Structure 1
Amino acid sequence: MRRGLGLTEAAREFVRHPSPWMIAATFGIALVARIAVGDWQRTDALVPVLILAAFPLVEWIIHVTVLHWRPRHLGPLTLDSELARKHRAHHVDPRDTPLIFIPPKSLAITIAALLAIALLAFPRLGLGLTFLLTVGTLGLLYEWTHYLIHTDYKPKHALYRAVWRNHRHHHYKNEHYWFTVTTSGTADRLLGTAPDPTTTPTSPTARNLHASE
């Protein structure tokens, strides 16, 4: 993409990829169902608050344990998910636009799992749909933020600049640190993966995860 990319142009590219549409469809269906079910209670306000509070930590855990999964061998079997494989390819070329997005197959499985949680893990249907709406909102935010960071759109505000810088350090400085994407490193600071970039060595394997150093 050319330098000086604007948000409108970025959005046109964003909607050409399947994952935003898949997440948006899930959100839309959940919204219609939530309105139809009604039964609004105080706990419907509590669920989004708890999810928002936990999201930076969840994002960190997924990045570390799922996306940075090191392939393991169990006899003739290789344990290696599509998400991990695609993420390694994303590190090889962080500007390859299709690799920025959640793979559709893995996303479909994730949506099915979240739907099952919404329907089965909550004491009432309305609360489960509130959960699904909140997660759908965060999913769209994640996809848009992650995509935008890897374009030529330049940060114009301090909050996004901090998020942009944090994730850029992960890809171009050292892949062992700075695991949060949509926040400016809240979980990284809590878990000790937000070192001073000026004193952190540049990793030779940031573009080739799990290679011998």
Structure 2
Amino acid sequence: MEVSCDLVDDTATGAPGATRRGERADDVRTRSEALRTLARRGSARVIASCGLALLAVRAALGGAGVLDAVIVVAALAVAGVGEWVVHRHLFHAPEQAWVARRLGVGREHRRHHADPGALDTLLLRTPAAAVFVAVLGVVAAGVAVPLARVVGAPGARPATTAWLVAVLALGHYEWVHLLAHTRYRFRSRRYRRLARNHRVHHHRDDRSWFGVTSDVGDRLLGTRRAAAEASRPG
């Protein structure tokens, strides 16, 4: 899913959303500064424009029903595990793994670990965001359309709902990930915990805490570690 991350260097081309020289996440101190930083990124424009387009399409298709509610609840239930799978098995894929060799998955993420405050690798590049949105659309249709057929409902409405929820989740991931690398401190105890876990993942043990917006995957799949434990050798 990171195939296109290296296709366009926003900084080098001066494309919209390019990082300004010297601009880093660890220079950001407030949430408003973080929002302005995110808004300048091409990935944010891709996610926002696709989200608004999907919202308009969903509204045009008609009112939401029980199946839409089921899809939203199901998406929220599996989001944490899905995020864990992508982070653990794609972003942290060994260099010799097939996905790393053939798709380039993990290259940008290794650069992110080498310099966590660099925005070019912290946030998705513009083409990578477009690839993520497209893949999410395929996954959403692959889940929602068969489900709709089972209950005898048209597939377009639930598929659009599922895609919209997935794109919103991607935007949420970008936002939380950015804030976790800034000097801003979350007011919510839950997000403070997530940010602390993410710092453990970066600075003490990159085999733990793969969740960014949720720690459900880490708790269920055995990568939850206390900060003190993560700091021990081995």
What TM-score bracket applies, with the shorter chain setting the length?
0.7 to 0.9
Counterpart of 2:54, as a letter, is A
Once the two structures are overlaid, the 10-residue window that deviates more, 110-119 or 40-49, is: 110-119
For the residue of structure 2 that corresponds to 1:198, the secondary structure is helix
Matching of residue 165 in structure 1 with residue 187 in structure 2:
no
Equivalent pair of 2:92/2:106 in contact (CA under 8 Å): yes
Q: Which runs of 5+ in 2 are unaligned?
A: 1-23, 149-154
Whole-Å Cα distance in 2 between the matches of residues 152 and 5 of structure 1? Answer: 5
1:200 maps to 230
> TM-score with structure 2 length normalisation?
0.78
2:59 maps to 35
Q: Which runs of 5+ in 1 are unaligned?
A: 205-213
Cα deviation, residue 45, structure 1: 0.5
Once the two structures are overlaid, the 10-residue window that deviates more, 34-43 or 159-168, is: 34-43
Equivalent pair of 1:86/1:99 in contact (CA under 8 Å): yes
For the residue of structure 2 that corresponds to 1:102, the secondary structure is coil
Query: Percent of aligned pairs with the same residue?
Result: 29
Equivalent pair of 1:118/1:125 in contact (CA under 8 Å): no
Once the two structures are overlaid, the 10-residue window that deviates more, 154-163 or 117-126, is: 117-126
Decide whether aligned partners of structure 1 residues 12 and 162 sit closer, same or farther in structure 2, where only a CA change above 3 A counts. Answer: same
1:207 maps to none
Counterpart of 2:106, as a letter, is A
Q: Which runs of 4+ in 1 moved over 4 A?
A: 1-4, 117-121
- Please report the RMSD computed on the Cα atoms of aligned residues, expressed in angstroms: 2.2
Decide whether aligned partners of structure 1 residues 27 and 149 sit closer, same or farther in structure 2, where only a CA change above 3 A counts. Answer: same
Cα deviation, residue 109, structure 1: 2.1
Once the two structures are overlaid, the 10-residue window that deviates more, 58-67 or 119-128, is: 119-128
The one of 118, 123, 128 aligned to 1:106:
128
Matching of residue 130 in structure 1 with residue 161 in structure 2:
yes
Whole-Å Cα distance in 2 between the matches of residues 26 and 54 of structure 1? Answer: 22
The one of 171, 178, 187 aligned to 1:156:
187
Aligned residues: 200
Cα deviation, residue 112, structure 1: 2.0
More helix by share: 2
Equivalent pair of 2:55/2:164 in contact (CA under 8 Å): yes
Whole-Å Cα distance in 1 between the matches of residues 221 and 97 of structure 2? Answer: 29
Whole-Å Cα distance in 2 between the matches of residues 147 and 37 of structure 1? Answer: 34
For the residue of structure 2 that corresponds to 1:199, the secondary structure is helix
Counterpart of 1:128, as a letter, is A
The one of 213, 217, 225 aligned to 1:187:
217
> TM-score with structure 1 length normalisation?
0.85
Equivalent pair of 1:34/1:129 in contact (CA under 8 Å): yes
